[in-house]
Structure 1
Amino acid sequence: MSELDRYLQAATRDNTRRSYRAAIEHFEVSWGGFLPATADSIARYLVAYAGELSINTLKLRLSALAQWHNSQGFADPTKAPVVRKVFKGIRALHPAQEKQAEPLQLQHLEQAVAWLEQEAQAAKSAGDQPTLLRARRDAALILLGFWRGFRSDELCRLQIEHVQASAGAGITLYLPRSKSDRENLGKTYQTPALQRLCPVQAYIDWISAAALVRGPVFRGIDRWGHLSEEGLHANSVIPLLRQALERAGIPAEHYTSHSLRRGFATWAHQSGWDLKSLMSYVGWKDMKSAMRYVDANPFPVMPRIVEKPVVI
């Protein structure tokens, strides 16, 4: 790979690249389309999957096809009037309510963390290192994900070298890039230590139990308690979260990794945070994005469980 190709590749996020590659393969292999495509063939492709794929998936397919044509020096057929009109018709005839993750309620967060602490103490007494490690890792991931409003990919890309934690004081986390950081300038996040459900102490307990000094914060753990050298994949956060909640006796089928982010946003909103502060803390650029995460049903407000954290 040339230096030019390396920088061009770095301009597109890995998840986006994989999604676009899969979309192009679907158009060519699954549907039998040809590239470069005509506006008419793309319109027929949309019609073929109008009742099967969601609006968002069809939008992603169009974006992938547009990117392919632009990168290869061809005119973009997805901008043709017939394609736009067909897509508008699909939206009208196949309206679908956007699915949202169930917000993790504070009482369920407390229940899960209490259970994980019980698991950790029992494992420590029994000399069960694999169970101890999993309990400490899961508690740290859930509490950091909730109180910092992190996405699953952000949690998985945290590096120990970029984290500074001080027991009883707070934690500072640096992410070189994230979805909301379009310019890849890097962003530093801060969260204070709490009296209860403390993400700072949970992080320290996990790092100490795992004896980690560098590399990914959150990693896989095998049955013998061996830690992976690689960080967790973002797709593994959902089963990890659900398993932890189910062990604590919480029905978890409706929870996803976004449940942590949405749960915090809803809690903060119901606890009196103004929308501007919430957007700044979580990293939303527009109000529409923020409001999709704020649940209308009030959570019980837990006074003084957390100061209003700081984001730099």
Structure 2
Amino acid sequence: MNKVDRYLQAGTRENTRLSYRAAVEHFEVTWGGFLPATGDGIVRYLAEYADKHAINTLKQRLAALAQWHITQGFPDPTKTPTVKQMIKGIRTLHPTQEKQAAPLLLFHLEQAVSWLEREAALAAERGQFVSMIRHRRDIALVLIGFWRGFRGDELARLQVEHTQAESGIGITFYLPHTKGDRQHLGTTFHTPALKKLCPVQAYINWITVAGISRGPVFRKVDRWGNLADGGINSNSLIPLLRRIFEQAGVSADLYSSHSMRRGFATWASANGWDIKSLMSYVGWKDVKSAMRYVDASSSFGELAVQVAAPKPEVLR
């Protein structure tokens, strides 16, 4: 790969490149379409799969086809009035309710962390290093994931050399790029130390027992306690989190990696954070994105019927 191609490729996220490539292949190979395409061809393609795929899947494929045409110097056939009308018609005839991860409840987080802390302490007493180191990693993972509101891929890309933590003060993370950072300018995230469920102390405990000073913060641990050189795969977070919650006695099927992000947004909203502060803290660029993560039912406060849980004193 020459230098020009290397920089052009770096301008698009790897996951986006892979999904776009698969979408173009689906249009051309699976369906048998011709490239460059016409607006009428795009409409026929949409009609074929309108009742087979979710509207978001179809829109993602349109985005891939649009990029292919633009990069090859052809007019974009996905922007014709007929294609837009087709998308509107699909929405009308095949309405779907958007699926969202359930927000992680704070007392479920506390339940899971309490269990992990007990298991880590018992493992240390018994000299079970592998078990102890895994529990320390998992504690840091869920607490940082919740209080920082990171996406799964952001957790997987955290680097020790880009993280500064001071016990009793706070922790600062730097990510060279995030989903909301379109210009790849890099973003710094700060979280204060907390009186309980503290992500700062959890991070310090983890890297101390793991003995890592560089590279990915979160890594796989094999059966002998060896740490992988690379970071955990973001796709492995859901089974990992569900295992943690299931072992802790929490309904594991409720939650995914996005549950931590939604859980924090819901907690912050219920505790008086205005939408501007929430957007600034988490890194959302528009209100619509932020509101997708906020559970409006929390606004009913004490009038809502809910499972009783002690209100932890967490913020300094």
Q: In which range does the TM-score fall when normalised by the shorter chain?
A: over 0.9
Answer yes or no: is the 8 Å Cα contact 2:146–2:264 preserved in 1. yes
C-alpha separation in 2, matches of 1:66 and 1:241: 36
Q: Which residue identity lines up with residue 43 of structure 1 in the other structure?
A: V
Q: What amino acid is aligned across from residue 195 of structure 2 in structure 1?
A: Q
- 1:1-312 map, 5 Å: 1-298=1-298, 302=311, 304-307=313-316
Q: Any stretches of 5+ residues in structure 1 without a counterpart?
A: 308-312
Opposite residue 10 of structure 2, the aligned amino acid is A
Structure 1 length-normalised TM: 0.95
* Paired amino acid for 2:153: D
Q: Is the Cα contact below 8 Å between 2:103 and 2:259 reproduced in 1? A: yes
Amino acid at match of 1:4: V
Distance 1:239 1:25, change over 3 A: same
- SS of 1:253 mapped into structure 2: helix
Question: How much has 1:297 moved relative to structure 2?
Answer: 2.6
Deviations 1:204-240 (A, max 9, x none): 1110111101000001111221111111111111111
Once residues 178 and 214 of structure 1 are traced to their aligned partners in structure 2, the CA distance between those partners, rounded to angstroms, is: 20
The one-letter code matched in structure 1 to 2:311 is M
1:140/1:202 contact within 8 Å kept: yes
Detail structure 1 runs of 4+ shifted over 6 Å in the superposition.
Answer: none
Shift of 1:96: 0.8
Give the distance between the partners of 1:218 and 1:180, measured in 2 at CA: 22
Long gaps (5+) in structure 2: 302-308
Deviation at 1:254? 2.5
Does the 8 Å CA contact 1:38/1:77 hold for their aligned counterparts? yes
Alpha-carbon shift at residue 303 of structure 1 (Å):
5.9
Please tell me the residue identity of whatever aligns with 2:138: D
**C-alpha distance in structure 2 between counterparts of 1:32 and 1:256, whole Å:** 36
State the shift of 1:136 in Å: 0.8
Amino acid at match of 2:218: F
Which whole-Å deviations, capped at 9, do the CAs of 1:222-276 have from their partners, x for residues lacking one? 1221111111111111111111001101111121111001000000100111111
Work out the CA distance in 2 between the residues paired with 1:122 and 1:29: 56
C-alpha distance in 1 between matches for 2:289 and 2:222: 37
Provide the identity percentage.
Answer: 64
Contact preservation (8 Å) 1:271, 1:301? no
Contact residue 62 and residue 78 of structure 2 kept, 8 A: yes
89-98 or 75-84, larger mean C-alpha shift? 75-84
CA distance in 2, matches of 1:293, 1:230: 30
